[in-house]
């Protein structure tokens, strides 16, 4: 009786290991590669055969010539895709206030002429610490700085932000947003006024 139960258990273990550990993952990977190859491979952004990043993971931009994204709370370094996490600081935690003030000061130093309130998503990290998007307001807030540093027309940059604005997911989830990496790549593809003849 015991041997019979043991044999049944071992057969079930091997069968389920093969089915759920080998067959199912291979099947799902094959279906994903067939139906959604870009997403299945990380939504990578490739230019001239070189991977520049993923449309799903934020990247650090601190040069005033570029639009800046959200803060990252991942460790041991920012935007670490292997360590997705938020800071988990509560609203009364002094560390959250310090990080917010430090980031606000960076924006004020980069664009001292801009007296508008800084949008909250530019001074706080997302729950994942990897958010590649900013709000439309956050992109518009940075237009004056980027235009001044690059010698570009503000209206041209406003149009560029609009062109790179993504709608709500499935038409009803979330808010319209701007992918910072895609926006900065489109920005680099444009010529500043000083180069236009």
**pTM for the whole structure:** 0.78
Q: Are strands 177-179 and 165-166 parallel, antiparallel or unpaired?
A: antiparallel
Residues 29 and 102 in one domain: no
Residue 13 and residue 2 share a domain? yes
pLDDT in tens, the chain (197 residues): 788 888 999 999 999 999 999 999 999 999 998 988 888 888 888 888 888 888 888 888 989 999 999 988 787 888 888 888 777 778 888 888 888 899 899 999 989 889 899 999 999 888 788 889 999 999 999 999 999 999 999 999 999 999 999 998 888 888 999 999 999 999 998 865 445 44
Exposure pattern of 17-48 as b/e (b: 16+ CB <10 Å)? eeeeeeeeeeeeeeeeeeeeeeeeeeeebeee
* 59 & 35 share domain: no
Mark whether 130 and 156 lie in a shared domain.
yes
User: How distant, in Å, are the alpha carbons of 10, 58, 66, 107, 135 from that of 142?
Assistant: 62, 17, 9, 9, 11
Report the relative pairing of strands 133-135 and 50-54 from DSSP bridges.
unpaired
Domain span at residue 9 reads 1-41
Residues 31 and 70 in one domain: no
Domain count for the chain: 2
Say yes or no: 51 and 35 in one domain: no
195 vs 197: CA distance, rounded Å: 6
Whether residue 84 is found in the same domain as residue 37: no
184 and 110 share one domain? yes
In this structure, the number of other CB atoms found within 10 A of the CB of residue 96 comes to 17
Task: Identify the H or E element spanning 103.
Answer: helix 94-110
Q: Do residue 99 and residue 118 come from a single domain?
A: yes
């Amino acid at each position: 009786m015991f041997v019979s139960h043991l044999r049944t258990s071992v057969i079930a273990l091997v069968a389920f290991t093969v089915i759920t550990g080998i067959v199912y993952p291979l099947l799902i990977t094959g279906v994903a590669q067939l139906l959604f190859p870009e997403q299945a491979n990380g939504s990578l952004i490739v230019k001239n055969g070189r991977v520049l990043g993923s449309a799903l993971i934020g990247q650090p931009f601190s040069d005033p010539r570029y639009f800046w994204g959200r803060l990252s709370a991942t460790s041991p370094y920012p935007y670490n895709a292997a360590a997705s996490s938020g800071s988990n600081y509560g609203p009364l935690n002094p560390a959250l206030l310090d990080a917010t003030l430090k980031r606000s000061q960076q924006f004020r130093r980069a664009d001292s002429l801009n007296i508008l309130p800084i949008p909250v998503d530019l001074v706080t990290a997302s729950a994942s610490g990897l958010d590649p998007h900013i709000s439309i307001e956050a992109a518009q807030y940075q237009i004056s700085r980027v235009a001044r540093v690059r010698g570009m027309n503000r209206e041209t940059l406003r149009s560029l932000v609009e062109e790179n604005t993504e709608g709500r997911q499935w038409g009803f989830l979330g808010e319209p947003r701007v992918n910072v990496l895609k926006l900065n790549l489109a920005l680099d593809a444009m010529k500043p006024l000083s180069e236009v003849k």
